[in-house]
Structure 1
């Protein structure tokens, strides 16, 4: 076991796994920033990447296991690596949570909060969440 991997890659893997699970549960949404940099869903791809990074420091122990077990763990790690790499560039819709699909649909239709606010700013009308400015008179 390499101590450098234990003190660098293992904590990063724990963090990425925690952050990705928290993002899926809509508790900690900061990983969504990564989705604007790549065409896929890197925020979702961080889960298999985090699992891979948590297990890499223990590769010596994994290879010391009996061959069938170490082979299955190795295949699992290869699948995690492939899912993490492919997920950054393409994530199938069935693997995305429903709230992410709904958000993507609102962005495509132009009905997300930022687009609505921008549209109202261009027309000069107050956005639905803003109060009208100036004095109000009932006639």
Structure 2
């Protein structure tokens, strides 16, 4: 298998993961939030950082790190490595300040007990319904 094929696949996978993460941040593809049940962190948001690192890794491999100037390859490494670390750590723990505003607001409502689940199901459980009145 050719090196350019491997790096092309890495770049394509990275671009897909980056797109998925950005769409979750923009509150578009919310079905990806189902991945959050697999790990204790926020994998749906961590795909942004993992996608960025894979995209840069694939692009660097396609271009060839030996053909790039030292400053560009150094900058590529300074972005790639922390993005990969942030993606792996984000699978297990994702800081609140990096989460999108809508997700922070939902977490605050859930902590207060004013989220949609609590309004629909939990707040009405203590009251008897019309058929059970004495």
TM-score > 0.5 by shorter chain: yes
Is 1:109 the counterpart of 2:75? The answer is no
Q: Give 4+ residue runs of structure 1 displaced > 6 Å after superposition.
A: none
Work out the CA distance in 2 between the residues paired with 1:96 and 1:82.
17
What is the RMSD computed on CA atoms of the aligned residues? 2.4
Alignment: residue pair count: 127
Work out the CA distance in 2 between the residues paired with 1:10 and 1:73.
14
Question: Which runs of structure 2 are paired with 1:1-139 in the superposition (5 Å)?
Answer: 1-7=3-9, 9-60=10-61, 61-64=63-66, 65-120=68-123, 122-123=125-126
> In terms of Rg, which structure is larger?
1
Identify which of structures 1 and 2 has the higher relative contact order when contacts are C-alpha pairs closer than 8 Å and 6+ apart: 2
1:35-87 CA-to-partner distances (Å, cap 9, x unmatched) read 23322222221111111122222333251211122111112100110110111
Unaligned runs of 5+ in 1: 127-131, 134-139
Give the TM-score, by structure 2 length: 0.78
- Give the match's secondary structure for 1:73: helix
Unaligned runs of 5+ in 2: none
User: CA 1:53 to 1:104, structure 2 compared with 1: closer, same or farther past 3 Å?
Assistant: same
